[in-house]
Structure 1
Amino acid sequence: MRTALVRRTVLTASAVSLALLATACGSDKADTKADAKPSAGATSAAPAAKAKTDAELAGLLVAQADLPEHVIKPATPEESAAAAGATSDKPECLPLVKAQAMAPVGSAAGTARVKAAAKPKEPAANASAEEKLKAAMDALGTTATAVTLTSYEGKGAEEAFATLKAAGTACAGGYTGSQGGEGLKIEKLTPGASVTAGDAALAYTVVGDADGDKLSMELVVVRKGNTLATFSAVSLTGTAEQPKAVVDAQVKKLG
């Protein structure tokens, strides 16, 4: 199990807790698959609205009823505190590191966080030892997603989105992100599977190297009015799927 590898990802605590949570929870449903189109980032002018507070955003986070094929858990105070300490060796890449680390990008008026792990498929009651072992290994590959909502005054959400879009271009060749004393070298950042949601959307595949182990993460950013939703997905096996079901459910709750 690649616990050491995932511990060195930008998501640190949330990556480990999410993935381990997924391996402990069974279901007869599998995670959804993403398409393979280029990423999209169209913008749309929306009337300004009053920024939402932490409590108001918390009420808009995806919940268990919204995603029955996932296990939903709130971010811990320790994870929220660690997010504030996210850093990068390149200032222009810090917005990407913050988005992966459940930290606000820009000056947010409110922030709320939750974690969603796709339920792995349980083996049949009469499964052989080999089938049970395979099911356990498949569970380790469950995609775990950190969801962060941030709300802004004025054009703050548009500005934060633009900052992330610019960072995606400037940091395509790589950077190093760190959180809680652990760092991860990002080798490259490329467009992820296309996302059409909200007023604007971006999707990236982030490829890292942790002591020779390759790690492929998915990062999705959606703006809806003056609220920004970021989705950072990881897997203990090293390759995460884009969390389409989580993105769709969260954007639906934003209205």
Structure 2
Amino acid sequence: MRNALVRRTVLAASAVSLTLLATACGSDKADTKADAKPSEAAATSAAPAAKAKTTAELAGVLVVQADLPNHVVKAATPAELAAASATKSDKPECQPLVSAQSMAPIGTAAGTAGTKAVAKGKEPAADASPEEKLKAGLAALSATATSVSLHSYEGTGAAEALATIKKAGTACAGGYTGGQGGDSLKITKVAPGAAVTAGDEALAYTVTGDADGEPMSMELVVVRKGSTVATFSALSLAGAAEQPKDVVDAQVKKLG
């Protein structure tokens, strides 16, 4: 069992790296080659023009530890931040999904902020047996980890970004490959996730991946609130992540 756990942990860590669940803030500059600014006609709704928030303003409304007592909230390291802009798709039409999973903005965002939240496992009792402590440790490894990113846009940019992700969700239902450096993760399926009613508009997808023969199911939620797009990408070392409803609700509440 230990060898199987180690193997899954290594494979899952690779997937985490590729979907950048271990990152926090993304780069303030978008990769314009990979993520061309979507056209205004792509917007799903006639969203009114809105003033964008700065990176400092977004940082002030980003979820923190006090907002999520049942999670461990942790900021990114410089290396994790650098990795955020390096993840690419083998299919240009699927890049918006990869960007959303890797906390990178769609097009050019005026402000960007992000963090990650890992669900807490149940602590074993002080007098727990070695077997009970091992079981608790394995359960902690299976906890859902969620990356949270906020991107703010001028005018109707936020609605356009959401529409671009929605278009990619349809075009890339059959899968794609996400790559970072010399590593890659094959996505085999993108399907609608459990409906999310939050913000002004919301999208939800279940993204199934294949990490060296090990299946992984990730949850992606994208919410627009005014000029801000919030993305939530959740993954579990157990192989199937839960939609991070508590994290989504707490973050959208802070957006007002």
Q: Normalized against structure 2, the TM-score is what?
A: 0.85
Distance 2:19 2:210 in 1: 18
Distance 1:76 1:147 in 2: 15
Q: Deviations over 1:209-238 (max 9, x none)?
A: 011011111100000011000000111222
Aligned match of 2:64: 63
Aligned match of 2:121: 120
Q: Evaluate the alpha carbon distance shift between residue 56 and residue 181 of structure 1 in structure 2; reply closer, same or farther with a 3 A threshold.
A: farther
Alignment of 1:153 onto 2:159: no
- Percent identity between matched residues is 71
Q: Evaluate the alpha carbon distance shift between residue 16 and residue 237 of structure 1 in structure 2; reply closer, same or farther with a 3 A threshold.
A: farther
Distance 2:20 2:63 in 1: 17
AA of the residue aligned to 1:153: E
Alignment of 1:7 onto 2:13: yes
Distance 2:106 2:50 in 1: 19
Q: Is the 8 A contact 2:18 2:87 kept in 1?
A: no
AA of the residue aligned to 2:205: Y
Give the deviation of 1:52 after TM superposition.
1.0
Aligned match of 2:98: 97
Give the deviation of 1:138 after TM superposition.
0.5
Give the deviation of 1:47 after TM superposition.
3.3
Q: What SS is found at the alignment partner of 1:146?
A: strand
Distance 2:115 2:100 in 1: 13
AA of the residue aligned to 2:193: G
Give the deviation of 1:103 after TM superposition.
0.8
Distance 1:206 1:104 in 2: 19
Aligned match of 1:29: none
| Equivalences for residues 131-142 of structure 1 within 5 A | 131-142=132-143
Distance 1:162 1:46 in 2: 11
Alignment of 1:221 onto 2:222: yes
Q: Deviations over 1:16-65 (max 9, x none)?
A: 689xxxxxxxxxxxxxxxxxxxxxxxx66543221111111111100111
| Equivalences for residues 83-94 of structure 1 within 5 A | 83-94=84-95
| Equivalences for residues 1-255 of structure 1 within 5 A | 1=6, 2-9=8-15, 11-12=17-18, 14-15=20-21, 45-255=46-256
Q: What SS is found at the alignment partner of 1:105?
A: coil
Q: Evaluate the alpha carbon distance shift between residue 44 and residue 64 of structure 1 in structure 2; reply closer, same or farther with a 3 A threshold.
A: farther
Q: How many residues align?
A: 231
Give the deviation of 1:4 after TM superposition.
2.2
Q: Deviations over 1:137-163 (max 9, x none)?
A: 101101000000000011111111000
AA of the residue aligned to 2:118: A
Give the deviation of 1:10 after TM superposition.
6.0
Gaps of 5+ in 1: 19-42
AA of the residue aligned to 2:177: T
Q: Is the 8 A contact 1:73 1:114 kept in 2?
A: yes
Give the deviation of 1:12 after TM superposition.
3.6
Q: Evaluate the alpha carbon distance shift between residue 94 and residue 63 of structure 1 in structure 2; reply closer, same or farther with a 3 A threshold.
A: same
Q: Deviations over 1:58-86 (max 9, x none)?
A: 11100111111111111222222111111
Q: Is the 8 A contact 1:102 1:147 kept in 2?
A: yes
AA of the residue aligned to 2:115: V
Q: What SS is found at the alignment partner of 1:8?
A: helix
Q: Is the 8 A contact 2:45 2:159 kept in 1?
A: no
Aligned match of 2:29: none
Q: Is the 8 A contact 1:108 1:152 kept in 2?
A: yes
Q: Is the 8 A contact 2:21 2:233 kept in 1?
A: no
Q: CA RMSD in A?
A: 1.8
Q: Evaluate the alpha carbon distance shift between residue 17 and residue 10 of structure 1 in structure 2; reply closer, same or farther with a 3 A threshold.
A: closer
Q: What SS is found at the alignment partner of 2:234?
A: strand
Structure 1 residue ranges (4+ consecutive) displaced by more than 6 angstroms after TM superposition: none
